[in-house]
Structure 1
């Protein structure tokens, strides 16, 4: 009898937890980097990922980002090609050597309603560092959307090009690039 009760309870618990796989084509990651004289914006593709929910409560997840897919949306033609080539180079993301960036949720704490504060390691160029940011999670049937903004200090990942921390700001002048860049997450997952 005890075995039957435990079996029924475990079935009930497993039915409540669900893994959803991110849809790379429906998901969007938008980046913005600023410098003294302006800003550049673009997109980068989600490679794959999953999210774990238990009765609508975020429990875990991870994503892989395809750094070789980085694009710019504020420039066209030759200038766009130059910027994208530079971002993929060793000065920035070393996309040929390190084509994938990853983020894994180690903890998720409910802030209010459908908002959660997530913490976990972000790995870029083979270097990992903890990141904490807020996301909103909405469930509609078998579909989950995750939205949020993350601010990343690129120097943590040995991306020093044009940084006032590592080079004389006077020498850099209007070529100085902010150490932090942002990524806007618009992720879609399905069961």
Structure 2
């Protein structure tokens, strides 16, 4: 009798954990950086990733982005090439030495509405890791999950100080603001 009760209790409380790989071709990260005279925006390719679900609820995951894929989309031609080269240089993200950035989810809490979560994670850029928090929305469509999040980061936390009014005086209209945005859409494989 005791063994039967123990087996029933174990089956009753066993959670189903599923790790689903991210479809890198169907997923994207867009970025937007701000300066006194305007802004620039573009894309960065997702290298690999996965999301973890426990009984259909988001509980973890991670993804890496290929920093060498950084593109500007708001300008074209030589202007875009120059901006991309500068962002990849040691003035900014030092892509030759730091080719990958990564986000690893460390905690997920439901926000009370199905598919809405508050996520805590560790983001690593230029070998510096910082804990961040952001909201995400997860939906399921045609057997695939779609997770979206808007993340605001301070580039100086990752030793990216070029043109920062927080570290340099008298920059005037050459000032580049410290905060930048990442808009992340992760689509899992079916």
TM-score by length of 2: 0.92
Deviations 1:6-43 (A, max 9, x none): 499459835x2211111110001110001000000000
Aligned residue in 1 for 2:62: 62
Q: 1:24 to 1:3 in 2, by over 3 A?
A: farther
Matching residue of 2:164: 163
Q: Which residue of 1 aligns with 2:34?
A: 34
Q: Which runs of structure 2 are paired with 1:71-82 in the superposition (5 Å)?
A: 71-82=71-82
Matching of residue 13 in structure 1 with residue 39 in structure 2: no
Deviation per CA, 1:47-67: give whole Å up to 9, x if none.
Answer: 001110112211111110110
1:149, CA displacement in angstroms? 0.2
* Aligned position for 1:147: 148
Structure 1: gaps (5+ residues):
none
Query: How many Å separate the matches in 2 of 1:185 and 1:43?
Result: 10
- Distance in structure 2 (CA, Å) of the matches to 1:44 and 1:7: 48
SS in 1 for 2:156: helix
1:140/1:5 Cα in 2 relative to 1: closer, same or farther (>3 Å)? Answer: farther
Mapped to 2, the partners of 1:146 and 1:175 lie a distance apart of 36
Post-superposition CA distance 1:99-130 (Å, at most 9, x none): 00001010001113211111111000000011
Distance 1:33 1:50 in 2: 27
CA 1:49–1:8: 2 relative to 1, 3 Å:
farther
Aligned equivalents of 1:180 and 1:19: distance in 2? 32
TM-score (normalised: structure 1): 0.92
Please give the secondary structure, in 2, of the residue aligned with 1:156.
Answer: helix
Unaligned runs of 5+ in 2: none
Taking the aligned partners of 1:99 and 1:132, their CA distance within structure 2 comes to 24
Q: Which moved more, 1:133-142 or 1:104-113?
A: 133-142
What pairs with 1:82-101 in structure 2 (closer than 5 Å)?
A: 82-101=82-101
Q: What is the CA–CA distance in structure 2 between the aligned matches of 1:92 and 1:65, rounded to whole Å?
A: 16
2: CA distance, partners of 1:50 / 1:3: 37
- Paired with 2:138 and 2:183, the residues of 1 have a C-alpha distance of 14
Question: Considering only aligned residues, what root-mean-square deviation do their CA atoms show, in Å?
Answer: 2.0
Size of the aligned set, in residue pairs, is 188
Deviation of 1:186 after TM superposition, in Å, equals 1.2
Distance 1:47 1:12 in 2: 36
Q: 1:7 to 1:78 in 2, by over 3 A?
A: farther
